[in-house]
Chains A and B, each alone.
Chain A
Amino acid sequence: MNWFLAHDVLLVLSLPALAAVVLAVLPGYRLSARGNVAASLATLLAALALFVRHPAPGPYFLVDDLNIVFIVLNTFVGFTTSVFSATYIDHELQTGRLTPAYLRFYHAMYQVMMFGMNLALVVNNIGLMWVAIELATLATVLMVGIYRTHEALEAAWKYFILASVGIALALFGTILVYLAAAPVVGTGLQGMTWTVLVAHAGAFEPGLLSVAFIFLFLGYGTKVGLVPLHAWLPDAHAEGPTPISAVLSGLLLNVALYAVLRFKMLMAGNPHVIAAGPLMTTIGLVTLIFAAFMLYRRRDIKRLFAYSSIEHMGIIVFAFGMGGPLANFAGLLQMTMHSLTKSAIFFAVGHVAQAKGTQKIADIRGLTQSHPPLGWTLVVGVLAIAGMPPLGIFTSEFLLVSSTFARSPLLAVPLVFGLFLAFAALLLRLQGLAFGEPTGRMTPVGASYVPTFAHLALVAVAGVYLSPELVTWFQHVAGMLG
Chain B
Amino acid sequence: MHGIGFDIAHLLAGSLVLVSLTMLYQDRLYALLNTYTLHAVVLGLAVAWQARLQDAPHLYITAAIALLFKAGIIPIALHRIVVRLGIHRAIETVSGIGTTMLAGIGLVGLSFAVMLRVTEGAALVAREDVAFALSVVLLGLLIMVTRRNAVSQVVGFMSLENGLILAAAGAQGMPLVVEISVAFSVLIAFIVIGVFLFRIRERFDTVDVRALDRFRGERR
Note whether A and B form a binding pair: yes
Is the CB–CB distance between A160 and B191 below 8 Å?
yes
Contact B126 A131 (CB under 8 A): no
B130 CB contacts on chain A under 8 angstroms:
175-176, 179
Structural contact, A182 and B191, CB atoms closer than 8 A: no
* Chain B residue with Cβ nearest A150: B215
0 or 1 for each of B164-175: is its CB under 8 Å from A? (1 = yes): 100110011111
Cα–Cα, bound, A207→B175 (Å): 23
Would A131 and B183 count as touching, CB distance under 8 A? yes
Q: CB distance B114 to A211 under 8 Å?
A: yes
Q: Of all chain A residues, which has the CB nearest B188? A: A164
CB under 8 Å from chain A, chain B span 194-220: 194, 198, 200, 204, 206-207, 211, 215-220
- Cβ of B175 to closest chain A Cβ, rounded Å: 5
Instruction: From known contacts A165-B157, A171-B180, infer whether A188 and B167 are also in contact, taking CB-CB under 8 Å.
Output: no
Q: Across the interface, which residues of A come within 8 angstroms of B171, CB to CB?
A: 175, 178-179, 182
Do the beta carbons of B164 and A182 come within 8 Å of each other? no
Q: Are the CB atoms of A175 and B191 closer together than 8 Å? A: no
- Is there an interface contact between B118 and A172, defined as CB atoms closer than 8 Å? no
B42 within 8 A of A: no
* Chain B residues, CB < 8 A from A138: 187, 190
| 0/1 interface trace, chain A 388-401, chain B, CB 8 Å (1 if under) | 00000000000000
**Which chain A residue has the least Cβ–Cβ distance from B140?**
A168
- Main DSSP-derived SS at the A contact region: helix
> Quick check: B174 and A178 within 8 Å, CB to CB?
yes
* C-alpha spacing A214/B190, complex, angstroms: 27
Interchain nearest-CB distance for A151 vs B (Å): 5
> Do A131 and B176 form a contact, CB below 8 Å, given A179-B171, A299-B220?
yes
Partner of B172, one of A127, A160, A182, A299: A182
Evaluate contact between A164 and B187: CB separation under 8 angstroms. Answer: yes
Most buried by B among A128, A169, A208: A208
- Distance between A139 CB and nearest chain B CB, rounded to angstroms: 12
Complex contact B183–A175 (CB within 8 A): no
How many residues of chain B are within 8 Å of chain A by beta carbon? 50
Give the residue name and chain of the B residue nearest to A300 (CB).
B218
Quick one: closest A residue to B206, CB to CB?
Answer: A154
A124-160 with Cβ < 8 A to chain B: 127-128, 130-131, 134, 138, 150-151, 153-154, 157-158, 160
Interface residue? A90 (CB, 8 A): no
Mark contacts of B105-144 with chain A using CB atoms, 8 A cut-off: 1 yes-contact digit, 0 otherwise.
0000000001101111111001000100110010001001
Q: Are A168 and B174 in contact (CB under 8 A)?
A: no
Bound-complex Cα distance A14 to B119 (A): 40
The one of A186, A192, A205, A300 that contacts B176, using a Cβ cutoff of 8 Å: A192
Q: Establish whether residues A172 and B137, one from each chain, have CB atoms under 8 Å apart when the complex forms.
A: yes
Q: Known contacts being A179-B119, A211-B114, A303-B218, is A127 close to B176, with CB within 8 Å?
A: yes
Given A172-B134, A175-B164, A300-B217, A128 and B198 contact (CB-CB distance below 8 Å): no
Residue of B nearest to A128 (CB): B176
Residue from the list A158, A169, A191 in contact with B207, Cβ < 8 A: A158
Q: CB-defined interface of A177-215 with B at 8 Å, one 1/0 digit per residue?
A: 011101100111101100000000000011110110000
Residue A7 lies at the interface, judged by CB distance under 8 Å to chain B:
no
Residues of A within 8 A of B144 (CB): 165
Are A188 and B200 closer than 8 Å at their CB atoms? no
User: Whole-angstrom distance from the CB of B100 to the nearest CB of chain A?
Assistant: 19
A298 at the interface (CB under 8 A from B): yes
Closest to A358 in B: B217
| Bound Cα distance from A94 to B72, whole angstroms | 46
In the docked arrangement, what's the CA distance between A183 and B168, Å?
15
Least CB distance, A425 to chain B, in whole angstroms: 15
Partner of B157, one of A164, A175, A189: A164
Q: Are A191 and B168 in contact (CB under 8 A)?
A: no
Which residues on A sit within 8 Å (CB–CB) of B206? 154, 157
- Cβ-neighbour of A131 out of B114, B153, B180, B191 (below 8 A): B180
Residue B179, interface by CB 8 Å: yes
Question: Is A205's CB under 8 angstroms from B120's CB?
Answer: yes
Measured CA separation A211–B204 after assembly (Å): 29
A360 CB within 8 Å of chain B? yes
A161 interface residue (CB < 8 Å to B): yes
The reply to whether A210 and B118 form a contact with Cβ atoms under 8 Å apart is yes
Partner of A191, one of B133, B164, B173, B217: B173
B12 within 8 Å of A (CB atoms): no
Do the beta carbons of A205 and B191 come within 8 Å of each other?
no
Flag A307-351 by CB within 8 Å of B: 1 or 0 each.
000000000000000000000000000000000000000000000
30 contacts between A and B (CB under 8 A): A130-B180, A131-B180, A134-B187, A138-B187, A157-B194, A157-B200, A157-B207, A161-B191, A161-B204, A164-B191, A165-B160, A167-B187, A168-B184, A171-B164, A175-B130, A175-B167, A179-B122, A179-B130, A180-B122, A182-B171, A182-B172, A183-B122, A187-B173, A187-B174, A207-B117, A208-B121, A211-B118, A235-B207, A359-B217, A360-B217
What are the 6 A-B residue pairs with the smallest beta carbon separation, nearest first?
Answer: A187-B173, A207-B118, A127-B176, A205-B121, A208-B118, A175-B167
